[in-house]
Structure 1
Amino acid sequence: MPAPWLGVDLGDARVGLALSDPELTFAHPAGNVVVEGDSFLALDSVIDVIEQESVAVVVVGLPLLLDGTRGRSGKKAVRWVNALSNRIRVLMADGSLELNDIPQLRLLDERLTTVSAHRQLRDAKVAGRDHRPFVDQQSAVVLLQSALDSRQTLKE
């Protein structure tokens, strides 16, 4: 059975997380990591999830500008993924992280995932003022589900 995938939506206040089912069919919310302005503070929490869930692939949202180029946030996402990769390698080398394999790290265009997340929360009858605690993890769900669906389409 394949190992689950992890979706990560980087935010300034919270980093949203989503996990797939083991069959890689559905994404579901896996919580938020409060980062208070510095998404790099979530690295160790994300590594804990990777280790606990034996994650095979980590899909991180890449916030592109509407013209498809990387702005400041996009460049920060690339730095975050590089920091995650480096941190995993260091922890594995010193024996404090036990993984069978280093997970694949992928960046995926996340344009409009927040819009989709808000729409899904509205459709679920969550009041607009109550979206804030859920929107980051729901954005991670949208991102991860997109990656899982793309994987399915490529197989067919």
Structure 2
Amino acid sequence: YQPKLAKEIVSLAFDNDVKTVVIGLPRNMDGSYGYRCDECKSLGEAISNINAELNICFEDERLTTVMAHNVLSENNVRGKKRKDTVDAVSAVMILQSYLDKNK
């Protein structure tokens, strides 16, 4: 993780009265944790160290990129626009998964 990123997230959370930060956890298909999971957990820890009042939640993000590409294909989004959009669509899916589990 980058300390600058953690500071920016905390600043955005403060400015928007956010209480919970949801971080996608890129687990392996077998459910195990890889090195990227460690980086995401380090980011969550850094955010907590800056502002302990923020609730940090991790949400499994397996297959969200594949699902995002499928949604974009269904909506005929191609080329550079697709590349620029896929991460945002994946993030929406991660957040929606978290919200669905925590109604």
- Where is the helix percentage greater, Structure 1 or Structure 2? 2
Q: Give the shorter-chain TM-score range.
A: 0.7 to 0.9
Query: In the alignment, does 2:71 pair up with 1:108?
Result: no
TM-score, L = length of structure 2: 0.87
The residue that corresponds to 1:98 in the other structure is: none
Q: CA deviation at 1:59?
A: 0.8
Q: How many residues align?
A: 102
Structure 1 runs not aligned, ≥5 long: 1-38, 90-101
Letter in 2 for 1:78: K
Instruction: Identify which of 106, 123, 130 aligns with 2:74.
Output: 123
What is the DSSP-based 3-state SS (H/G/I as helix, E as strand, rest coil) of the residue aligned with 2:102?
A: helix
Root mean square deviation, CA, Å: 1.6
Pair 1:51-2:14 in alignment:
yes
The percentage of aligned residue pairs carrying the same residue is: 33
Pick from 84, 89, 97 the counterpart of residue 138 of structure 1: 89
For residue 77 of structure 1, the aligned residue among 27, 40, 56 is 40
Amino acid at match of 2:10: I
Per-residue deviation, 1:124: 2.6
More strand by share: 1
